[in-house]
Chain A
Amino acid sequence: MISFIISLRENILIALRALAQNKMRAILTTLGIVIGVLTVVSVASIISGLNTGFASQISALGSNTLYVHKYPWIIKDDFFKYRNRPDITMKDAEYLKEHSRLAEAISAASGTFRDIKYRNNSLTGIGVSGVTMETEIIEGFSIADGRYFTQIEIDHNKNNIVIGNEIKEKLFNNKNPLGERIKVGDFSYTVIGVMEKRGSILGHNLDSEVYVPLGTIFKNFGFHRSIRILIKVPSPEMIEQVKDEIHFLMRVSRKLKPQEEDNFSINQQEMLTNMYKQLTNGLYIAAFGIGALSLIVGGIGIMNIMLVSVAERRKEIGIRKALGAKQRVITFQFIIESIIICSMGGIIAIFLSFLMSLVIDKVTPFPSNVPIWSVLMGLGFSSLVGLFFGIYPARRAAKLDPIECLRYE
Chain B
Amino acid sequence: MQTLINLKDIVKTYQIGTVEVQALRGVDILIHSNEYISIMGPSGSGKSTLMNIIGCLDTPTSGVYELEGELVHTMDDNKLAEVRNRKVGFVFQTFNLLPRATALHNVELPLIYSGISAAKRKVIAEDAIEKVGLTDRMHHRPSELSGGQCQRVAIARALVNNPSLILADEPTGNLDSTTGKEIMAIFDDLHNAGNTIILITHEKIVADHADRIVHILDGHIAEDIQVKNN
Show the binding face of A for B, using Cβ within 8 Å.
2-3, 6-7, 9-10, 17-18, 21, 315-316, 318-329, 402-403, 406
What's the Cα separation between A406 and B97 when bound, in Å?
Answer: 11
When distances are taken between beta carbons in the complex, the residues of chain A under 8 Å from B152 are: none
CA distance A9 to B117 in the complex (A): 11
Pick from A318, A324, A406: contact of B86, CB under 8 Å: A324
Residue of B nearest to A17 (CB): B100
A-B contact count (CB 8 A): 66
Which single member of B98, B115, B118 contacts A316 (CB below 8 Å)?
B98
Tell me the complex Cα distance, A403–B77, Å.
12
> For the side of the interface on B, what is the size category?
20 to 34
Q: Is the CB of B57 within 8 A of A402?
A: yes
Are B117 and A321 in contact (CB-based, < 8 A)? no
Is the beta-carbon distance between B82 and A6 smaller than 8 angstroms? no
Residues of A within 8 A of B38 (CB): none
Q: Which residues of A contact B116 (CB under 8 A)?
A: 6
Is there an interface contact between B78 and A326, defined as CB atoms closer than 8 Å?
yes
Highest count of chain A CB atoms <10 Å: which of B82, B113, B117: B113
Contact among B52, B84, B110, B117 for A6, CB-based, below 8 A: B117
**A327 and B81 in contact, given A322-B90, A406-B96 (Cβ under 8 angstroms):** yes
Q: Are B81 and A3 in contact (CB under 8 A)?
A: no
Chain B residues, Cβ within 8 Å of A403: 52, 57-58
A325 close to B113 (CB less than 8 A): yes
Given contacts A403-B52, A403-B57, contact A323 B113 (CB under 8 A): yes
Question: Do A3 and B115 have beta carbons less than 8 Å apart?
Answer: yes
Q: What residues of chain B lie closer than 8 Å to A321, measured between beta carbons? A: 81
Does B96 lie within 8 Å of A2, measured CB to CB? no
- B157 contacts the other chain (CB 8 A): yes
B196 interfacial contact with A, CB 8 Å: no
Which 10 A-B residue pairs are closest in the complex by CB-CB distance? A324-B85, A3-B115, A324-B113, A326-B81, A326-B78, A323-B110, A319-B96, A324-B84, A323-B109, A325-B113
Given A21-B100, A316-B98, the answer on whether A323 and B85 have CB atoms closer than 8 Å is: yes
- Complex CA distance for A320 and B111, rounded to whole angstroms: 11
Residues from chain A with a CB closer than 8 A to the CB of B57 are 322, 402-403, 406
Q: 19 A-B pairs, CB-CB below 8 angstroms?
A: A3-B115, A6-B118, A9-B118, A17-B101, A18-B100, A315-B96, A319-B109, A320-B113, A323-B90, A323-B110, A323-B113, A324-B81, A324-B84, A324-B113, A325-B81, A326-B81, A326-B113, A403-B57, A406-B96
Closest to B55 in A: A322
B115 touches A322 (CB 8 A): no
Interface hits, B72-87 → A, CB 8 Å: 77-78, 81-82, 84-86
Chain A residue numbers with a CB within 8 Å of B85 are: 323-324
A17 to B109 CA separation, bound complex (whole angstroms): 15
Q: Is the pair A324, B118 in contact by a Cβ cutoff of 8 Å?
A: no
Q: In the complex the two chains form, what is the Cα distance from A2 to B119 in whole Å?
A: 13
Chain A's nearest CB lies how many Å from the CB of B230? Answer: 29
B98 partner, pick from A2, A319, A324, A326, beta carbons under 8 A: A319
B114: Cβ under 8 A from any A Cβ: yes
Can you add 9 more A-B contacts, CB < 8 Å, to A319-B97, A324-B161?
Answer: A17-B101, A315-B96, A321-B81, A322-B57, A323-B113, A323-B157, A324-B84, A325-B81, A329-B113
